[in-house]
Amino acid sequence: MRTLRRERGPVQTRGSWLRRWAAGVSMALLVPLTTTVAGTAAPAEAGFNAAAFDFWVDSGMGPIKSRVLRAADGNTNRVVYVLDGMRAPEHLNGWEIETDIPNALARANINVVMPVGGMSSFYADWNSPSSFFGVPGTGAPNSGSGAANALSGGPGKSYRYQWESFLTNDLRNALADRLGFNRFRNGVFGLSMGGSAALTLAAYHPDQFSFAGAYSGYLNISAPGMREAIRLAMIDAGGYNVDSMAPPWGPQWLRMDPFVFAPNLVRNNTRLWIAAASGLPTSTDGPNINTVNGMALEALALANTRAFEVRMATLGARNVTYSFPAFGIHAWNNWNDEALRMIPDLSNNIG
């Protein structure tokens, strides 16, 4: 039976979530991480959306494309940024490729902004271009999968990722200046990497984001084993080096950890939607390696999310909805269903 709880709700015991944490980390380290981020069959209406349009904006990373879908009623006041996962491709945002959620948001009279690209970036401003042993990525663009891409070319390797600056300055201002979009009280949500990033953006830019949603996010990245799990995930998803993103355990890394910056979210009274499934497959998840990997990744995300829930409870947070479906793995069918559950709450807390 699906669990959907508002506000604080009952809190698990420390021993319970620690056991889940240990199990999740152990499983995640045994499989190629992030394999199932785009591995599940998409809903029937998913794919390139002719109603959306390309929106190019100059940035410190060069020209960056976003895809924009206008609200059905033509308003410019209600805006949501939709963030991708670790394998974010360079041609379309995963939400457009894999789901019909952008259309569902537009029908709810919300303008949809879908940044394109940022593979393994965590939508952060990186410390340096991604490199290993001082050797920058060169040659052909990476394929998006496997450690063989560690020394390949690609986004964020010949230049430094500056995604937070782009989303909160360059893109924000261009949307306002060129389309008349509201600069304030926007929403932001994402999956996995994008879920963690959504909370980071809301924590440090409360005037821009009044709502943030995190699905299957890694919300306790400073916990034992998490940096190395993320290291393996980033190597597998395009050959990126976590040490180029942020030095280990320093202020830059801690700034990205939702468990650490949770007080900001409480103080800002940001409306939050926090979700992670059980890791048990649904009837649509086939008996294959993607499902096995997705189970392990979701178990890890669930452990992180439960730890974040406890942290928020200790802070007296009353600005959160938690969603813990009884079935679901680290895959698009899970995130599609979660977005449909979230849209009414998003709609009520932006604009």
Catalytic pick from 205, 216, 330, 338? Answer: 330
Backbone angles phi and psi of 138, in degrees to 5:
-135, 170
For residue 73, count other CB atoms closer than 10 A to its CB. Answer: 11
Q: Quote the CA–CA distance of 343 and 337 in Å, as a whole number.
A: 10
Q: Quote the CA–CA distance of 103 and 338 in Å, as a whole number.
A: 15
The region that residue 344 occupies, defined by phi over 0 for left and psi between -120 and 50 for alpha, beta otherwise, is alpha
* Burial (Cβ within 10 Å: 0-12, 13-18, ≥19) of residue 256: buried
Catalytic pick from 96, 298, 309, 338? Answer: 298
Catalytic pick from 192, 196, 244, 323? Answer: 192
Dihedral, CA of residue 230, residue 233, residue 238 and residue 242, to nearest 10: 20
Residue 192 designated active-site = yes
* Burial (Cβ within 10 Å: 0-12, 13-18, ≥19) of residue 129: middle
Q: Quote the CA–CA distance of 108 and 171 in Å, as a whole number.
A: 23
Cβ contact 311:264 at 8 Å: no
- 335 Cα distance to chain centroid: 11
* Burial (Cβ within 10 Å: 0-12, 13-18, ≥19) of residue 42: middle
The residues annotated as belonging to the active site are 192, 298, 330
